[in-house]
Structure 1
């Protein structure tokens, strides 16, 4: 099961082409939906999530290519799938971070935020960029120079992601608890359905957090561990969870928040566009 590189083995099993094709289709469909919504509603802060969707799509194409090569794997498809599937959730996280600040502004709840709203996006996105760069560089090191060093850098990037995402989730929960006890006029207004957007943020955050924790366990266990030895884990605890993140935001699209802030428009149930009837001044 060698690729021709001395001491290097791509997989501890023969990858399933059928499973890869299923996820190519799933991510292809949901990413095209997000692209359509993004362009039509001008919800530009969701660009990172859409790019992440394309990373997932291309990553599973690489995995299907690897499956077709078994057992004589080459480096290109392996690098495609390992790198793109590893870093895509960091792009999802960037859009999620930016949405929370907009929800807080929407309900005029800045005083209830654990982190100053003007700094919130900068702090969390900076941590996300650091995590992204560490994971991407670690993936590169694994296949070009030192596998052990690469794994350690990836682990560091995943820990950074978990710390920032954990803090983000705590901040979102504290904000929601505070504003529930001391509501603003906007937070109790019928035309500002912010609770469903917070629910989407919480759900997607938990999904990404679970995925990142499983990835940490994967790299700690190494090639002899249960996770890297069984392909089912990559699909159940990575592919499926990240697909659900994208589905959550198709169902509860942030264009509504953007529209109420006076930016862009929102999709109607029939696929049309409308400008929000009431805009919340900020």
Structure 2
């Protein structure tokens, strides 16, 4: 029977992680990641590769968590599961940010964006990268055991950055939608460009990631002896289930229909024609 072990006299875990739960979510995330990879390959929607990598992070994380069931004293196993489960949703977020930019460009609605479209993705992805680095650094420090408190603080700052960026992102998307209802473009009525469906998909996925990030902030704010870090079910309900749901929603309503048009120069007339680009 698995028992709690120490690493240099320090308990990495506050409970013996469930093998069954870890294996179940390992399989679920693996299936979701394979589905996303197939959709990316079939539709050549290259920018969604980041989302699939996020799914792979979840697979690695829960695989390590399953291994940790009988190796609670292994700092390497603890570190791998902690880092990869923590960072997977950050890659989901990056894809969500890029998708909004593609929605705006696909219906030629740049004038309705609060932020210049050229900067829209850059601003939010930069914030996401900052969040990624802070969370990764904090998770790495926590794995050493001796500086767990510092690692938690750094990770929490990274999660707060993610929460703030998501709130700003959702506000930006809502303002864009309101403006589009008032001043729609001609492309907005194209039945082959269901931009509203993809916008609502972003709202749903963003909300799930936001709730998960808020939970993680609360988790680390309460410390090692707080309820979330001493009760495993909270991780599965407020993180694993939500992130699997995000993968399912984004996979079902995959943004392969969004095609960004860029002007092509015409030698004879020097005019610009819209050419659809299938990425």
Aligned to 1:138: 138
CA contact 1:52–1:89 (8 Å) conserved in 2: yes
Aligned to 2:187: 186
Aligned to 2:12: 10
Moved beyond 6 Å, runs of 4+:
none
Asked if residue 115 in structure 1 is aligned to residue 115 in structure 2, the reply is yes
Find the aligned partners of 1:51 and 1:190 in 2 and give their Cα distance. Answer: 31
CA contact 1:106–1:280 (8 Å) conserved in 2: no
The Cα RMSD (Å) is 1.6
Aligned to 1:31: 33
TM-score by length of 1: 0.89
SS of the aligned residue for 2:11 comes to coil
How many angstroms does 1:148 deviate by?
1.4
The gaps in structure 2 that reach 5 residues or longer are: 263-273
How many angstroms does 1:68 deviate by?
2.6
How many angstroms does 1:161 deviate by?
0.6
Asked if residue 242 in structure 1 is aligned to residue 251 in structure 2, the reply is no
Find the aligned partners of 1:143 and 1:2 in 2 and give their Cα distance. Answer: 15
Find the aligned partners of 2:261 and 2:91 in 1 and give their Cα distance. Answer: 23
- 1:97-176 alignment, distance < 5 Å: 97-144=97-144, 145-176=146-177
How many angstroms does 1:191 deviate by?
2.3
Find the aligned partners of 1:181 and 1:280 in 2 and give their Cα distance. Answer: 26
CA contact 2:192–2:257 (8 Å) conserved in 1: no
Aligned to 1:22: 24
TM-score by length of 2: 0.90
Aligned residues: 262
How many angstroms does 1:279 deviate by?
7.1
CA contact 2:134–2:155 (8 Å) conserved in 1: yes
Aligned to 2:271: none
